[in-house]
């Protein structure tokens, strides 16, 4: 039972961590994307369709591509066209809701859910922890790589400069908007991976409520992490843990007095606590959320 | 227009031929300027706010394409699409607002402009390079501290080092001394001399005549976008330059004082101020912390009486801002006392402070003084919007009253706008400031706290506001004037205090202070005697 | 004589110019709406639907008859209120997207108010009071977190939305469940229900509640000192502080008012347009009203009057969308939300405005030429 709990924790961690790391890259460069929820949903949907048509690997890639594309559009609007990041993000969420619901009705036989045939789902390893997707491994390793990248390469320095003081980056010859675009595309691809993972490699279907607020939890994880990818991994594990706890508590401790709904609330309450506690010590890039205008 | 004859065989570094810049909205920033720059020359670019200096230098450094004319170097047309390209060519600019990344150290800031993207940052190399540079130039800065923790003068040094590390042939400095103490200015100038001896050309943008006299070989004067003078520094003097800069013979007092640095009798009333009555503003042993935890104001005590202008002079950043914030309810000191006519004002809401008869003309009119998207009417009641004059029951706003009031203000203070419903951001700087001043004076205040009241204003508006302050003083009100413009403070104040690192170095009547003495005090060199006012 | 004529002409010209530039924000919304509808059509076409037929059905359904209009109004009422909820906080400089959760809590409160036995008007009042209070209370959590711990309201309101979701599920199941149908709560008695204005439609007097509240919000924001402080705090917190405005208190007030608005929205649905006057366990009628309200708010430029128009527009789209589903080429109504999303996304772009000065200049240039033509004829006549 404990093993199953660990297994579920790891699986649940994946979309959060991947999306969070992607958003960390974006926010370091100065872009605040509140549309992550929408990207998760859309890439889950795209991944599902793609996998059904072309196989699991293509499905995953298509999901990543969709995530990258949406983030690219978001970034173009918010850098070159000086758009408001908050509004664009909310727009993405609404579009995703409408598009996916619309699409589910159009493409699936059962309303609200689109199952992916077993052959189109990504293979899973049989482990003592349960069925684990290889993507879990990626999600475990990626944050460390991202950390090294941000801290030790000049590219990381450039990203930070673009987010902290774009004027200085500009003078140093850096194309701030291009940097932000690149960061957004990478971040979007990661979020897309998270979304596609959910449908193609984890649940095996896509439904309209699938993202379940994970996009926003990822945002909270970003705050919690102070833009440190490794801490984002920790945040993802925390959430995965509490989510699965809610599902498993009845089996682990039968007759547990607290009703199921309260346990399901738990991840969100914990997020609140974490975010409230963490805010004091976290420092965000000064130019976050604002488009860069060269004087 | 005095033309500077150059022997044609002398090599030039760059040349501007009849360049003009007209912006999209139709304004002509620079008109038909032709000038040549030579290696090893220090050229002062003189002009007032809005004369076109920054635009001209942007064109000279190849970053801004001229609408007409061209800029060339011996190797061809000068056109760069980014500061990086210009740097690669050899043109480096040190801006007024530094292009440094706060949390980065000096080394990291320099590394930003050097290596290729995906290599590991070789900080060790960057540090080595910087240390060599520091030796050569004589500039010293700590290399491992995040630059946001450094003093402004140090930050500027990092900025200069950053540019120097690229081996520039032309160094452009935009008003570099506005944030330096006199001591730091001397250091900067000796560095510039060293560089020019080594063959680097230097353009020094400034509006300070004395600097031009001190350091430049040549002076180019701009007025309203046109070049009105290009002379060898040794061939001219400050009066001539002042004339060129301003154009017409102006009302002697304010402007002449500002330009020539000489003291002239200004509207000072010979009436002695009665200091036996209670002062309007009384500050006692006040200590204030700044934003980064440092002590901005230390154990300060002073009084401002009705009918006098008490001026605070000093280089910006020595606690003036924090001092003003403390007596206007925007910051809470950690110790001390401050009262207005006996009532405590420390830790008190601005709202209540205004009711005690305090008017505050803030140093940043866009950030504090106005809500730019609001209309004139809405801005005119900022701070007094809850006063019975403008507010009815249930906090209803009496717009009729308010609009009438605004129209009166527009009349009285000659504020040019299309009406009370115009958005504040559509007004010129001068009119915006007049709106703020009008609003504050309408409070019928006992004391006016004016912080940098004429900053960034055209001559006409600046003079208007100065005259107004003097008028208020003559009417018996108290005025606390804080200004980084030394000449302004000296000309207007009845008593002046020179502030350095949170303390008053001296409080005295302006006439009793010598210019050199003032400079030293501003730079922190204290004196034995304190002239009691 | 010609001098007077000139001043009249120039005044007309200035007036026209001012109206056109003043209308620019509205024109922006129109442009965004057109783009949204276009993308919607594109998706429909790509997925094998006929967009023209669909839109025709939608338009007819919404605006082609008084029943369609009534239904549009019924859908618009709650949208006005959730849009106001978002806009009030936006004016104060904050992104409060907690309307969904506040709505749910207020819905529960409304159902609870149904327990009382009271004469109709009083019962309405009590129910509305309960709903407003519940919405206000639920908005205080994020407000306090922001003001004391600096928690970004976007994250906190979303968390509160989800907490409300599960909390209401629990409460419904534990206390309020209907004896006859485990899917619904107990019904609100008819004494607390808004009566219909038009039979056969969903339109009730709830629409008046919505309009009234919108007018109140407008009045408060632009004609009282409190509203002035909210707007100032949102546009320039430093200047607001300089002006003696206590930002924290003002922001808190804005949050509470937002919660009140969202609470009212719940009443317009449960006591108004909903087919049954009880809450579905799965929150059916209340789902998405909060998020849709945001779209309405943005298109309405965050101004109460604009919101009224914008809500009617979206109401029309949705009402028409329902009919669209019954047409020979049925398109799911979810397409409407897609259109809404695109509209919102488009509105994030400020450059939209660039197009309009061009139109404005072009129009005034046209008027100019007209004027010259007129004056030339005038001169000829006078000679």
What Rg do the C-alpha atoms of chain C give, in angstroms? 24
The ipTM value here is 0.85
Helix axes A85-107, A56-79, angle to 10 degrees: 150
Q: Which residues of B touch C232 (CB under 8 A)?
A: 371, 374, 378, 382
Q: What's the pLDDT tens digit per position in B264-311? A: 335 555 456 667 778 889 999 999 988 766 788 999 999 999 889 999
Binary contact (C238, B374; C-beta < 8 A)? no
CA dihedral C245, C251, C256, C262 (to 10 degrees): 130
Which two tokens mark A183? 């960061």
- pLDDT higher for B124 or A65? A65
Domains in chain A, ordered, with CATH? 2-278 (1.10.3470)
Contact yes or no for C159 and A223 at CB 8 A = no
Can you give the pLDDT at residue B253? 42
Tokens of B131: 């240390």
Range in A195-199, B416-420, C140-144 the model is least confident about: B416-420
* For chain B, the helix, strand and coil percentages under 3-state DSSP, each to the nearest 5: 35, 25, 40
Look at C361 and B223; give whichever has higher pLDDT.
B223
What average pLDDT does this structure show over C136-155?
Answer: 90
Nearest by CB to B82, which of A155, A173, A283? Answer: A173
Q: Do C151 and A101 touch (CB under 8 A)?
A: no
Report d(CA B358, CA B479) in Å as an integer.
10
Say whether residue C180 is in contact with chain A using an 8 A CB cutoff.
no
Task: Report chain A's C-alpha Rg in angstroms.
Answer: 19
Which pLDDT score, from 0 to 100, does residue B263 have? 37
Chain B hits for A173, CB-CB cut-off 8 Å, are 82-85, 87, 113
Neighbours of chain C (3+ CB pairs under 8 A): A, B
Are C292 and C199 in contact by the 8 Å Cβ rule? The answer is no
Put the strands of the sheet holding B28-37 in their side by side order: B28-37, B14-22, B68-73, B76-77
| C23: confidence class by pLDDT, cuts 50, 70, 90 | low
Distances (CA, A) of C288 to A106, C97, C188, C267: 21, 11, 22, 15
Mutation target for B interface from A28, A169, A171: give the one with most B CBs within 10 A.
A171
Q: Phi then psi for B237, rounded to 5 degrees?
A: -140, 175
* Alpha helices by DSSP H, chain A: 2-28, 36-54, 56-79, 85-107, 134-152, 154-164, 166-171, 176-196, 214-225, 229-252, 260-278
- Residue A139 has a pLDDT of 93
Above 50 in pLDDT, residue B5?
A: no
Rounded to whole angstroms, the Cα distance separating B395 from C224 reads 5
pLDDT winner (highest mean) among A118-122, A201-205, B356-360: B356-360
Q: Is B314 helix (H, G, I), strand (E, B) or coil?
A: coil
Strongest mean pLDDT among A48-52, B187-191, B456-460, B517-521: A48-52
Least confident of A23-37, A234-248, B238-252: B238-252
Tell me whether B426 touches chain C (CB under 8 Å).
no
Confidence of residue C135 (pLDDT cuts 50, 70, 90): very high
Which of these ranges, A17-21, B98-102, C240-244, has the smallest mean pLDDT? B98-102
Q: Does C1 have pLDDT greater than 60?
A: no
pLDDT at C73 over 80: yes
A188-220 as b/e: b if 16+ CB within 10 A: bbbbbbbbbbbbbbbbbbbbbebbbbbbbbbbb
Phi, psi of B120 (to 5 degrees): -70, 145
Tens of pLDDT, residues B27-67: 778 888 898 888 889 999 987 656 788 888 888 877 778 88
The 3-class secondary structure across B372-422, one letter per residue, is: CCCEHHHHHCCCCCCCCCCECHHHEECHHHHHHHHHHHHHHCCCCCCCCCC
Handedness of CA C305, C309, C315, C317 (dihedral sign): negative
Q: Which residues pair with B16 in a beta bridge?
A: B35, B71
Cα B202 to chain centroid, rounded = 22
Is the pLDDT at A92 greater than 70, yes or no?
Answer: yes
Q: What's the token pair of residue B285? A: 């042993």
Helices and strands (DSSP H and E) totals, chain B: 17, 20
Section B398-425 average pLDDT: 87
Tell me the three state secondary structure of residue C22.
helix
* Neighbouring residues of C196: CB distance < 8 A, sequence distance ≥ 6: C202, C203, C204
pLDDT at C333 > cutoff 50: yes
pLDDT at B161 (0 to 100): 84
For residue B2, what pLDDT is reported? 34
Tens digit of each residue's pLDDT (9 = 90 or more) over B507-516: 988 888 776 6
B476-512 as b/e: b if 16+ CB within 10 A = ebbbbbbbbbbbbbbbbbbbbbbbbbbbbbbbbebee
pLDDT tens-digit readout, A235-283:
889 888 877 777 677 666 776 777 777 877 877 887 788 778 765 556 6
Q: Which stretches of chain A sit within 8 Å of chain B by CB?
A: 152-155, 157-158, 160-161, 164-165, 167-175, 283, 286
Distance from CA of C372 to the nearest CA of A (A): 38
Helices (H), chain C: 2-46, 51-63, 66-91, 99-113, 120-144, 153-171, 206-223, 225-235, 237-242, 247-268, 289-299, 304-326, 334-347, 352-382
Task: Please determine, for residue C196, whether its predicted confidence score (pLDDT) is greater than 80.
Answer: no
Q: How far is B367 from chain C (nearest CA, A)?
A: 6
- Does B348 contact chain C (CB < 8 Å)? no
Parallel/antiparallel/unpaired status of strands B281-289 and B295-304: antiparallel
pLDDT at C180: 73
C383 confidence band (pLDDT: 50, 70, 90): very low
CB-closest option in A99, A265, A276 to C163:
A265
Cβ contact, residue pair C162, A220, below 8 Å: no
Q: The tokens of A91 are what?
A: 């727009």
More confident residue, A107 or B359: B359
pLDDT band at B330 (very low <50, low <70, confident <90, very high): very high
Look at residue B153 in the predicted model and tell me its pLDDT: 73
Which of A23, A39, A12 has its CA nearest to residue A192?
Answer: A39
Residue-level pLDDT at C293? 92
**Region C282-305: what's the mean pLDDT?**
85
B113 contacts A286? CB cut-off 8 A: no
C342–chain A Cβ distance below 8 A for any pair: yes
Alpha helices in C205-285 (DSSP H): 206-223, 225-235, 237-242, 247-268
Q: Which of B225, B215, B186, B184 is nearest to B54 (CA)?
A: B225
Closest CB to A213 among C145, C150, C162: C162
C159 pLDDT higher than 60: yes
How near does any CA of chain A get to the CA of B158, in Å?
A: 13
pLDDT at A145: 94
Segment of A143-157, B143-157, B170-184, C276-290 carrying the highest mean pLDDT: A143-157
Write the DSSP assignment of B168-236 as a string of letters. Answer: -SEEEEESGGGG--HHHHHHHHHHHHHHHHTT-EEEEEES-HHHHHHH-SEEEEEETTEEEEEEEGGG-
List subunits contacting chain B, requiring 3 or more Cβ pairs under 8 Å.
Answer: A, C
- Class of residue C339 by CB neighbours under 10 A (exposed 0-12, middle 13-18, buried 19+): buried
Residue A211 contacts C where some CB pair is shorter than 8 Å: no
Say yes or no for a CB contact (<8 Å) between A81 and C47. Answer: no
- Mean pLDDT for the stretch of residues C354-369: 61
Check CB contact of C37 with chain A, cutoff 8 Å.
Answer: no
Chain C residues within 8 A of A34 when measuring between CB atoms: 154
Distance CA B280, CA B358 (A): 10
- C139 or C203, greater pLDDT: C139
Which residues 384-423 in chain B show a CB within 8 A of chain C?
A: 385-386, 391, 394-397, 399
Q: Chain B residue closest to A160 (CA)?
A: B101
Query: How far from each other are the two terminal CA atoms of chain C, in whole angstroms?
Result: 13
Cβ-contact A39, A164 below 8 angstroms: no
Nearest CA to C253 among C290, C225, C227?
A: C227
Residue range B398-406: mean pLDDT, rounded: 89
- Give the pLDDT score at C62: 78
What pLDDT does residue B251 have? Answer: 38
Give the list of residues 6+ apart from residue A135 with CB closer than 8 angstroms, or none: A14, A60, A122, A193, A197, A201
Cβ–Cβ pairs < 8 A, chains B and C: 67
Stretch C270-291: mean pLDDT, rounded? Answer: 77
As a whole number of angstroms, the longest Cα–Cα distance in chain B is: 81
Q: What is the pLDDT of residues B388-397, one digit of tens each?
A: 888 888 788 8
> Which residue in B99, B116, B119 is closest to A167 by CB distance?
B99
* pLDDT interval class at B179 (50, 70, 90): low
**C contact test, residue of B321, B371, B426 with most C CBs within 10 A:** B371
Q: How far is C-alpha A189 from the chain's CA centre?
A: 9
C340 contact residues in A (CB cutoff 8 A): 94, 98
Region B405-411 average pLDDT: 90
* A107 or C22, which is more confident: A107
Minimum mean pLDDT range among A229-238, B179-188, B221-230, C349-358: C349-358
A103 compared with B126, residue with greater pLDDT: A103
Contact B256, B250 (CB under 8 A): yes
pLDDT at C133 over 90: yes
- H/E stretch holding B336 reads strand B335-340
| Partner C contacted by A82 (CB < 8 A) | yes
Q: Which residues in chain A have Cβ-Cβ distances shorter than 8 Å to B166?
A: none
pLDDT, tens digit, 9 for 90 and up, residues B82-133: 777 787 888 888 876 677 888 888 888 887 776 555 556 667 777 888 888 7
pTM: predicted TM-score of the whole model, two decimal places: 0.79
Percent of chain C with pLDDT over 90: 34
Mean pLDDT (chain B) is 80
The answer, for B24 touching chain C at a CB cutoff of 8 Å, is no
Output the CA–CA distances (angstroms, integers) from residue B90 to A10, B12, B17, B193, in the order listed: 55, 14, 20, 18
Percent of chain B with pLDDT over 70: 84
Interface touch C149/A276, C-beta < 8 Å: yes
Contact B83 A173 (CB under 8 A): yes
- CA-to-CA dists, residue C19 to A9, A14, B372, B375, B446, angstroms: 59, 54, 21, 17, 44
Cβ burial of B394 (10 Å; 0-12, 13-18, 19+) is exposed
Which residues in chain A have their CB less than 8 angstroms from residue B118's CB? 153-155
Tell me, yes or no, if C350 comes closer than 8 A to chain A by beta carbon: yes
Find all residues with CB under 8 Å of B226, minimum gap 6, and list them.
B31, B32, B33, B52
pLDDT band, very low/low/confident/very high, at B529 (cuts 50, 70, 90): very low
Residue B369 DSSP code: I
What distance in Å separates the CA atoms of residue B339 and residue B345, rounded to the nearest whole number?
5
pLDDT for the residue C175: 78
**CA of A4 vs chain C CAs: smallest distance (Å):** 24
The structural domains of chain C, ordered by start, are: 52-330 (1.10.3470)
């Amino acid at each position: 039972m404990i093993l199953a709990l660990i297994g579920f924790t790891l699986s649940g961690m994946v979309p959060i961590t991947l999306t969070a790391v992607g958003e960390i890259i974006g926010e370091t460069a100065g872009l605040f994307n509140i549309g992550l929820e929408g990207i998760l949903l859309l890439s889950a949907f795209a991944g599902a369709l793609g996998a059904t048509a072309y196989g699991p690997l293509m499905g995953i890639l298509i999901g990543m591509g969709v995530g990258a594309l949406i983030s690219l559009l978001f970034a173009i609007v918010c850098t070159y066209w000086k758009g408001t990041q908050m509004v664009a993000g909310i727009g993405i969420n609404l579009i995703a809701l409408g598009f996916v619901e619309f699409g589910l009705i159009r493409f699936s036989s059962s309303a609200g859910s689109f199952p992916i045939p077993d052959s189109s789902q990504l293979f899973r390893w049989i482990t003592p922890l349960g069925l684990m997707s290889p993507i879990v491994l990626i999600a475990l390793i990626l944050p460390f790589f991202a950390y090294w990248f941000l801290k030790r390469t000049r590219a990381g320095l450039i990203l930070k400069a673009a987010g902290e003081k774009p004027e200085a980056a500009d003078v140093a010859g850096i194309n701030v908007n291009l940097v932000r675009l690149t960061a957004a595309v990478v971040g979007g691809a990661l979020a897309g991976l998270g979304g596609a993972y959910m449908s193609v490699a984890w649940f095996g279907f896509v439904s309209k409520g699938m993202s379940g607020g994970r996009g926003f939890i990822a945002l909270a994880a970003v705050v919690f992490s102070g833009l440190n990818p490794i801490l984002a991994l920790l945040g993802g594990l925390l959430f995965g843990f509490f989510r699965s706890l809610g599902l498993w508590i009845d089996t682990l401790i039968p007759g547990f007095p607290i009703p199921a709904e309260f346990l399901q609330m738990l991840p969100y309450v914990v997020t609140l606590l974490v975010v409230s506690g963490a805010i004091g010590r976290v420092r965000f890039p000064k130019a976050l959320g604002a488009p860069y205008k060269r004087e | 227009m005095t033309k500077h004859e150059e022997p044609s065989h002398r090599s030039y570094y760059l040349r501007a031929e009849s360049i003009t810049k007209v912006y999209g909205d139709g304004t002509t920033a620079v008109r038909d300027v032709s000038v040549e720059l030579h290696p090893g020359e220090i050229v002062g670019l003189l002009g007032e706010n809005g004369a076109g200096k920054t635009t001209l230098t942007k064109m000279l450094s190849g970053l801004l394409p001229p609408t007409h004319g061209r800029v060339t170097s011996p190797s061809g047309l000068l056109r760069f699409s980014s500061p990086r390209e210009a740097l690669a060519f050899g043109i480096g600019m040190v801006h007024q607002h530094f292009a440094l990344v706060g949390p980065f150290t000096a080394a990291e800031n320099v590394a930003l402009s050097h290596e290729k993207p995906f290599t590991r940052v070789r900080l060790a190399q960057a540090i080595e390079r910087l240390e060599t540079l520091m030796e050569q130039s004589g500039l010293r800065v700590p290399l491992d501290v995040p630059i946001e923790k450094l003093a402004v003068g140090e930050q500027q040094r990092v900025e200069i080092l950053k540019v120097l590390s690229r081996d520039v042939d032309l160094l452009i400095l935009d008003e570099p001394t506005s944030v330096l103490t006199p001591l730091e200015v001397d250091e900067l100038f000796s560095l510039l001399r060293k560089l020019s001896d080594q063959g680097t050309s230097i353009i020094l943008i400034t509006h300070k005549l004395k600097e031009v006299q001190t350091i430049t070989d040549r002076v180019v004067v701009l007025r309203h976008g046109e070049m009105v003078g290009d002379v060898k520094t040794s061939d001219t003097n400050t009066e001539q330059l002042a004339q060129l800069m301003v154009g017409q013979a102006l009302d002697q007092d304010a402007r002449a004082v500002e330009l020539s640095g000489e003291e002239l009798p200004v509207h000072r009333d010979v009436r002695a101020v009665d200091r036996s009555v209670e002062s309007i503003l009384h500050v006692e042993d006040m200590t204030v912390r700044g934003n980064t935890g440092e002590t901005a104001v230390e154990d300060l005590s002073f009084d401002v009486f009705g009918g006098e202008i008490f001026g605070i002079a000093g280089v910006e950043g020595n606690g003036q801002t924090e001092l003003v914030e403390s007596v206007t309810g925007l910051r809470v000191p950690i110790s001390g006392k401050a009262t207005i006519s006996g009532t405590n004002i420390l830790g008190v809401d601005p709202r209540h402070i205004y009711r005690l008869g305090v008017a505050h003309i803030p140093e940043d009119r866009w950030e504090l003084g106005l809500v730019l998207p609001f209309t004139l009417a809405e801005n005119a009641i900022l701070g007094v919007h809850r006063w019975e004059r403008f507010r009815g029951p249930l906090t209803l706003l009496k717009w009729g009253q308010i609009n009438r009031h605004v129209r009166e203000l527009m009349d009285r203070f000659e504020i040019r706008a299309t009406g009370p419903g115009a958005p504040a951001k559509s007004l010129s700087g001068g009119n915006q400031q007049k709106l703020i001043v009008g609003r504050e004076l309408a409070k019928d205040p006992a004391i006016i706290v004016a912080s940098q009241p004429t900053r960034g204003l055209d001559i006409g508006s600046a003079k208007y506001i100065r005259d107004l302050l003097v008028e208020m003083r003559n009417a018996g009100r108290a005025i606390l004037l804080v200004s980084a413009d030394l000449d302004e403070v000296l000309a207007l104040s009845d008593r002046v205090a020179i502030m350095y690192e949170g303390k008053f170095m001296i409080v005295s009547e302006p006439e009793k202070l010598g210019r050199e003495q003032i400079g030293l005090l501003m730079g922190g060199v204290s004196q034995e005697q304190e002239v009691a006012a | 004589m010609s001098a007077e004529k000139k001043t009249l002409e120039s005044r007309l010209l200035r007036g026209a110019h001012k109206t056109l530039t003043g209308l620019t924000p509205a024109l922006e919304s129109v442009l965004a709406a057109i783009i949204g509808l276009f993308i919607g059509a594109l998706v429909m076409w790509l997925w094998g639907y006929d967009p023209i037929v669909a839109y025709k059905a939608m338009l007819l359904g919404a605006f082609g008859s008084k029943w369609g209009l009534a239904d549009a109004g019924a859908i618009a009422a709650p949208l006005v209120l959730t849009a106001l909820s978002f806009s009030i906080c936006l004016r104060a400089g904050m992104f409060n997207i907690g309307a969904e959760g506040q709505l749910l809590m207020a819905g529960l409160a409304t159902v609870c108010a149904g327990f009382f036995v009271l004469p109709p008007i009083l019962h309405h009042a009590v129910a509305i009071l309960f709903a407003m209070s519940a919405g206000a209370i639920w908005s205080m959590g994020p407000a306090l977190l922001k003001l004391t711990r600096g928690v970004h309201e976007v994250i906190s309101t979303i968390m509160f939305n989800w907490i409300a979701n599960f909390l209401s599920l629990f409460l419904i199941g534990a206390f309020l469940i209907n004896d006859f149908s485990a899917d619904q709560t107990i019904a609100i008695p008819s004494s607390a229900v808004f009566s219909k204005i038009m039979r056969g439609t969903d339109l009730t007097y709830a629409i008046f509640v919505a309009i009234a509240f919108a007018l109140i919000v407008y009045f408060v924001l632009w004609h009282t000192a409190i509203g002035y402080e909210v707007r100032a705090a949102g546009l320039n917190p430093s200047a607001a502080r300089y002006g003696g405005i206590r930002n924290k208190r003002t922001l808190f007030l804005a949050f509470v008012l937002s919660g009140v608005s969202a609470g009212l929205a719940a009443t317009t649905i449960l006591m108004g347009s909903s087919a049954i006057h009880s809450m579905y366990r799965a929150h059916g009628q209340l789902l998405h009203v909060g998020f849709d309200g945001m779209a309405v708010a943005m298109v309405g430029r965050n101004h109460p009057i604009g919101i009224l128009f914008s809500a009617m527009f979206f109401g029309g789209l949705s009402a028409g969308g329902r009919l669209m589903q019954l047409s020979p080429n049925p398109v799911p109504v979810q397409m409407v939300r897609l259109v809404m999303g695109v509209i919102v996304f488009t509105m994030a772009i400020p450059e939209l405005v660039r197009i309009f000065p061009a139109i404005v200049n072009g129009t005034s240039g046209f008027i100019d030429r007209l004027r010259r033509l007129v004056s030339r004829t005038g001169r000829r006549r006078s000679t």
